[in-house]
Chain A
Amino acid sequence: MAIDKSNQTSSYSSMDMVTRLAARRPVGPPPKRGLPWGKYFHYFFCSLSYIFLLSPMIVVIGASLHGGEYYTAIKFPPDEPSLQWYWKIPKGQLEALGLSFGLAGLTALGACIIGIPAALGIVRGKIPGKTLISAVFRAPLQIPAIVTGIAFLQLYYLFGDATGLYFQGTFLGLYIGHLFVATPYVVGTVTAILQRFDTRLEEASFSLGASKLSTFRRVTLPVIMPGVYAGALYAFMVSFGDVPISIFLTAPGFVTYPIELFYGMENDFDPSILASASLVIFFCLLVLLGMQKLVGLDTLLRSGSR
């Protein structure tokens, strides 16, 4: 099936118009009478999926508003709503949040620095074995996350034994691990955009006398920017939510937010965790809203995850 992709990006292709006009007049056998049960069932089924998917987050936010006594504090639906737990988030959780933000931000940045040149090289380089090279860049996603975690832990031990520099439990060690799994997202999204890139734009820029660098900065970069945003967002979120890698590479007193939550839940948890978790959910919503304003959600997704 060869389907011209450029046709779908414009929502008003001529074919679409024709079928839309045709659809107004009944062509072929008249539609069956009665209610469209299939459609209703479809909507019903979809609402079930949404309830399934969103209920845990709604429950977390709801339960964080509980205002009662300490010992009955985890309760949904909450009685006597209050924001008391939001003021009682302990320092440890705030520090963990801070570390996660910093780490995720730097991971997104690093993933772009490694990923954008990689995507440019994959799409435009004249090299044999391109499939193999892009497979290498995708490989970190094929390796189960927990395997990556233990692999880096053992790598750091071995490296430490050999050189005396132990990365385990340091920011750099954690950063390398996160960078490893986050970079493929940037490579994927930027590659997807570059493959649709009209190189005549660059030729036009050259023929108008622009230098290579200025062409890249003022023509190429703006075009691939949605892909970069999408990839950076994926990289940020993957790093920000990661457990299986961080659990091996953090140390007591040096934990990311998901790990702090993870250990908090294994032991008896304090309801302030609900409050900080709700803040994270709101933060994700906010980021999403920003992305929608910046590039649009559909562009974000069309540039493709993975």
Chain B
Amino acid sequence: MKTRWEFVLLPSFVIIGILIVASQYVFLNGSFYKDMGLGRIGDSATMVNYIRFFTDSFYLNTLWITIKTSALASIFTLILGFPVAYLIARMRSHWSMLLLAGIVVATFVTIVIKVFGLIILFSADGLINQVLMGIGIVDRPYTIIGNQTGVVVGLMHFTLGFGVLLLYSVIQTIPRSLEEAAQIHGASRWRMHMRVLLPLSLPGVTVGALMIFNMSMGAFTSAALLGGGRVFTLPVLIQRTVMMEVKYSMAGTLAAVLLVTVLLINLLAIFLIRRLRAARLVIA
């Protein structure tokens, strides 16, 4: 009578497993060969690409910019996203559906379209510059295209919708009654947030923050279009190395560094959370 569910799983597991192992193996392996130009690679394994990466300040700087913009975007996404997620999660009227719909649409519309809107908005004769110059805050058109501010704004547009949805599901798991209990006992709004909401949501928020950070580290579109060929993050550089320089091995090396960096940062974060939890600084 019992169904053997583990056999149901098998075909899917094999398909995904093969795809993961094969794709990851091929580029990791390729990263250990030397590019010979025109997409051909040398025949003996070497560390030359990795040595080049870690000795060339351009590549190291790219890695640093990638981490910096991703971290900034994650922090600002949390700051902008948490109040919205809290508002929607605690709302009792049907308006919450409308607010939620706004977030979901922003999440689902492809980032290319959103970046498109940003570029129009921030163009030299765009709405923002008209307003800024009209008030007299700036006397020359201000642009976010081609600088790191632009990349951070672009990354935020990529992650904010997802971030709000993640935080929304985190806040929903915290019973409203706990907050009400705190307020009935005379806690101020601020105190309730700091002593009840924050500790309870912290584990979920950290996991969400890591996801947002991971998304930003791999984000190509917003960084490529708003970087305008002047700001290079690792994803942008990977695409250029393949499409313009046709150096598959070097691109493989860059991809490997990106993958390992993301992995290390995640492990580090998990380790730190464990330590904090053990020290009872975080309740979870």
Question: Which of A's residues lie within 8 Å of B, judged by CB?
Answer: 1, 3, 5, 7-8, 15-16, 19, 22-23, 27-29, 36, 38-39, 42-43, 45-46, 48-50, 52-60, 63, 74, 76-77, 114-115, 117-118, 120-127, 133, 136-137, 139-140, 142-155, 157-158, 176, 180, 183, 206, 212, 237, 240-244, 247-248, 257-258, 261-262, 265-266, 273-274, 277, 280-281, 284-285, 287-288, 292, 297-298, 300-302, 304-306
Contacts and interface: CB of A to CB of B under 8 A. Distances in A.
Given A154-B30, A277-B113, A304-B169, A76 B8 contact: no
Contacts of A262: 112, 221, 224-225
Given A136-B13, A265-B225, A306-B211, A49 B113 contact: no
Given A46-B87, A121-B13, A146 B235 contact: yes
A301 B259 CA distance: 29
25 contacts: A3-B174, A8-B173, A19-B181, A27-B184, A29-B186, A42-B86, A49-B80, A53-B157, A55-B121, A63-B120, A114-B11, A121-B13, A142-B263, A144-B235, A144-B258, A155-B22, A180-B16, A180-B23, A237-B108, A241-B109, A244-B219, A247-B239, A284-B108, A301-B100, A304-B169
Contacts of A120: 5, 8-9
A56 B1 contact: no
B242 A153 contact: yes
B186 A258 contact: no
Contacts of B234: 146
Contacts of A60: 113, 116-117, 120
A45 B220 contact: no
Given A3-B174, A5-B173, A125-B5, 14 more contacts: A8-B175, A22-B180, A46-B83, A48-B80, A53-B106, A56-B117, A56-B120, A114-B11, A120-B5, A151-B26, A155-B27, A176-B19, A285-B105, A292-B97
A63 B117 CA distance: 9
Nearest to A124: B5
A59 B27 contact: no
Interface stretch (B48-56, B57-65, B133-141, B160-168): B160-168
B273 interface: no
Contact of A261 (B113, B127, B161, B283): B113
Nearest to A117: B8
Interface residues of B, number: 106
Contacts, number: 299
Contacts of B218: 143-147, 244
Closest 6 CB pairs of A and B: A121-B9, A144-B218, A56-B117, A241-B110, A125-B6, A151-B23
A136 B17 contact: yes
B42 interface: no
A15 B177 contact: yes
Contacts of A7: 175
B112 A77 contact: no
Contacts of A148: 23
A206 B258 CA distance: 51
B113 A280 contact: yes
A56 B113 contact: yes
Given A118-B13, A280-B113, A147 B258 contact: yes
Interface in B77-134: 80-81, 83-84, 86-87, 97, 99-121, 123, 126-127
B257 to A, nearest CB: 10
Contact of A49 (B81, B112, B173, B181): B81
A150 B251 contact: yes
A243 B111 contact: yes
A3 B255 contact: no
A305 B221 contact: no
B6 A127 contact: yes
Nearest to A56: B117
A202 B129 CA distance: 62
Contact of B184 (A22, A45, A284): A22
A298 B100 contact: yes
Contact of B166 (A183, A266, A305): A305
Given A8-B173, A126-B6, A262-B225, A23 B180 contact: yes
B9 A54 contact: no
Contacts of A274: 116
Contact of A42 (B83, B176, B238): B83
A142 B215 CA distance: 8
A127 B218 CA distance: 33
Contacts of B22: 155
Contacts of B235: 144-146, 244
